[in-house]
Structure 1
């Protein structure tokens, strides 16, 4: 059991929680909570830490059976599982009310070209058209995490982010994904312009929510592949980035609002396109 706040491993865990350059150098991240642990791919987990209190609960309450099974699986695979004192766990945790379990995992590795190629092959072989979310300089970790979670629900093929977008392995982002981080492919790019060019080569239309939009988002027939550009929470899309889109669209607003929260806007756009594809496939199946 780790009981000292000066333990070297404690210092490393805190650094992984707080500093993106440490996470990126080590190619690791820290995730917390029972749900995040249960859903994590075991082959990505490197170390698991439990508070003394949770360890005692695990042995006393049957509702934690699935956690025991996952811990046993980790140990069978040689993954270190270690207890900590309550004081130590509070130090290594990033939450105000820790659940008593956190783990270190290996980062995922995707490339924009890989995501586009995979979706394009499926479409070419008769599957559904590609669906992508492109983000520019999103700064709020909660927004980015919600976008990944929404993307999973809408069936997105990937979230491709500008290099100015917040770190996807920020602890707040990870919590906001509610596990979607494990299942939704994502990648950073130095050039959204290059990604948009690759999308266009594959017949995927790129849409930008913009005040200059002539059509509302629910008036467009998303018949082929679609990708949606969503910009910074305060400034929106840069004009040069918006100018790369094949079409502008707008979201209807009542009251004095000019725009919606970035994650909310992304959800509306993704689900609209996803719903259109599902409806078209149902009509084709019943014709």
Structure 2
């Protein structure tokens, strides 16, 4: 199938997905670029179609996936169509239209030793995407997005995940409803605070489910959500910076938890005998 005109009704529908209100209305989103399309195809998510540049053909990197995913419609389109469906100055030669899949928090609540990142009002889509990517790299069990967070299906958020969006549960939830359930299930809600007396390297992340709560770039965790925090910790800073970017803070906490859980073996000194 070919679609060459940017005025085509279907193309107009795709282009609408660059805006959140239409992503919500259609329950679909766009994934742009060879790597992200490939990740989506291999994750077996529900893909409506893949559109590729008619002049360049299906990218060679996707040829095997195109043969495997016979349930996906592959459409040759003009460069003008691709440009209309992209928010970048230099559009990629391929994009996919993907149906949203609702992830549920139940599986995270059931896991007794889960490592979960919880975001409260993190508004920058690049930060949200980077945190999801880091959570994936660290082997976290999931990411929870509370109210006020950037839309995970924002094109910048998706690009920042580098495909990690398809590797672990990302759940949108009301934190005032979900966090009490997590506490009842045995999770500890852990957050950062400049007033904390314990630092993140002293805290024991190994005993129970650890739900790491991070707030907005400017305001931190909201007052209502903060009432649900069990333990406050601080990331020590020996330099003069006042704070860390929220994505960097998430990385520090995640990897300290990973270090304690998987790499905290006692090092036995080696004695050399003369």
What 5-or-longer segments of structure 1 have no aligned partner?
A: 59-63, 121-128
Give 1:9 shift. 1.3
Residue 222 of structure 2 is aligned to residue 222 of structure 1 = no
Higher helix share: 1
Counterpart of 1:125 in structure 2 is none
For residues 54 and 95 of structure 1, what CA distance do their matches in structure 2 show?
Answer: 19
More deviation in 263-272 or 94-103? 94-103
Cα 1:6/1:130, change in 2 over 3 Å: same
Residue 208 of structure 2 is aligned to residue 213 of structure 1 = no
TM-score (norm 2): 0.90
Tell me, yes or no, if the aligned pair for 1:53 and 1:100 is still in contact at 8 Å.
no
Give 1:68 shift. 1.0
Counterpart of 1:11 in structure 2 is 12
2:177 to 194, 198, 208: 194
For residues 227 and 164 of structure 1, what CA distance do their matches in structure 2 show?
Answer: 19
Counterpart of 1:164 in structure 2 is 148
1:106 to 99, 102, 107: 99
SS at match of 1:208: strand
Residue 87 of structure 2 is aligned to residue 69 of structure 1 = no
SS at match of 2:3: coil
Tell me, yes or no, if the aligned pair for 1:205 and 1:226 is still in contact at 8 Å.
yes
Counterpart of 2:215 in structure 1 is 231
Give 1:254 shift. 3.5
Tell me, yes or no, if the aligned pair for 2:201 and 2:256 is still in contact at 8 Å.
yes
TM-score (norm 1): 0.86
**How many aligned positions are there?**
262
Counterpart of 1:31 in structure 2 is 31
Counterpart of 1:55 in structure 2 is 57
For residues 6 and 236 of structure 1, what CA distance do their matches in structure 2 show?
Answer: 44
SS at match of 1:53: coil
SS at match of 2:17: helix
Residue 151 of structure 2 is aligned to residue 180 of structure 1 = no
SS at match of 2:151: coil
Give 1:136 shift. 0.3
Counterpart of 1:275 in structure 2 is 259
Counterpart of 1:94 in structure 2 is 87
Counterpart of 1:141 in structure 2 is 125
